[in-house]
């Protein structure tokens, strides 16, 4: 993230807000990118679950889940942005929207997924 007004940052921020809204099932209200993400939601959620630290399940709060959904889609499916940029941006979004523990949690999950994808 160059600045908080960077176009890529603002696009990711809008997507996180869209997924945070919780209206995942009504595709007509979503942006084209969100619809693309929803087409892969089962894979994304599977990767998220598999990346849980040492198999421990943790109820992921809605903010962290929204950030992870967008970031995992970029890492595993879209693959147009370098992984380091995706993870850095996800951590910034987690700082902006999440709790005190969100940045570390998001970083850990995405790091585990990246390791698995390589």
| Residue 22 falls in which region: left (phi positive, over 0), alpha (psi -120 to 50) or beta | left
Query: How far are the Cα atoms of 10, 27, 68, 72 from residue 16, in angstroms, in the given order?
Result: 10, 15, 9, 12
Tokens representing residue 27 in the block: 């595709």
Q: What is the pLDDT of residues 2-46, one digit of tens each?
A: 666 788 888 888 888 877 776 555 555 667 888 889 899 999 989
Residue 93 reports pLDDT greater than 90: yes
Q: What is the pLDDT of residues 102-118, one digit of tens each?
A: 999 999 999 999 999 88
pTM (predicted TM-score): 0.81
Alpha-carbon separation of residue 89 from 17, 22, 29, 56 (angstroms): 15, 21, 25, 25
CA separation for the pair 38, 17 (Å, rounded): 14
The domains located in the chain, with CATH, are 7-117 (1.10.940.10)
pLDDT in tens, 2-14: 666 788 888 888 8
């Amino acid at each position: 993230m160059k600045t908080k007004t960077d176009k890529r940052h603002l696009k990711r921020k809008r997507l996180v807000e869209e997924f945070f809204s919780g209206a995942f099932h009504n595709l007509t209200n979503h942006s084209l990118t969100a619809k693309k993400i929803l087409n892969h939601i089962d894979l994304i959620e599977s990767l998220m679950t598999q990346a849980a630290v040492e198999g421990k399940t943790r109820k992921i709060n809605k903010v962290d889940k929204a950030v992870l959904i967008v970031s995992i889609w970029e890492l595993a499916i879209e693959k147009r942005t370098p992984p380091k940029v995706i993870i850095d941006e996800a951590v910034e979004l987690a700082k902006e929207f999440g709790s005190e523990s969100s940045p570390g949690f998001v970083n850990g999950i995405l790091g585990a997924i990246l390791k698995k994808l390589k």
